[in-house]
Amino acid sequence: MLRIPCPCCGPRDHDEFRYGGDASVPRPAPDDPDPEAWHAYVYRRQNPKGAHREYWQHVLGCRQWLVVERDTVSHRIGSVVMAREWQA
């Protein structure tokens, strides 16, 4: 079972969270008119093996967005930080 240690609420089952996507992909600027940049951001994703940063929202708890470093093979959590405090 995957348990995510929420900085606000403590360790919780992953069922309380919603996956929010890859945190390592840079988002284009909101006013970027290049459709290729937005296409790449939305659709072109790697399928990494090993440590990977992901966005998760604690929807059944504090509702905060988190950046979780998770190993995609073992599901072991390496670190969890508030998304507003994380810098790529």
pLDDT of residue 87: 74
For residue 59, being part of any structural domain is answered with yes
pLDDT of residue 51: 94
- pTM comes to 0.84
With residue 20 as reference, give the H or E element that holds it: strand 18-22
Number of Cβ atoms within 10 Å of the Cβ of 32: 12
pLDDT higher than 70, residue 63? yes
pLDDT of residue 27: 87
Count of domains observed in the chain: 1
| Structural tokens at position 40 | 């790449």
Q: Which residue range forms the structural domain that includes residue 58?
A: 3-25+35-85
Number of Cβ atoms within 10 Å of the Cβ of 26: 9
pLDDT of residue 88: 63
pLDDT tens for each residue of 21-54: 899 888 899 999 999 999 998 898 888 899 999 9
| Structural tokens at position 29 | 């600027």
For residue 7, being part of any structural domain is answered with yes
For residue 67, being part of any structural domain is answered with yes
Strands 51-57 and 18-22, how do they pair? antiparallel
Q: What CATH number should be reported for the domain holding residue 16?
A: 3.30.2270.10
For residue 8, being part of any structural domain is answered with yes
Mean pLDDT for the stretch of residues 58-80: 96
For residue 30, being part of any structural domain is answered with no
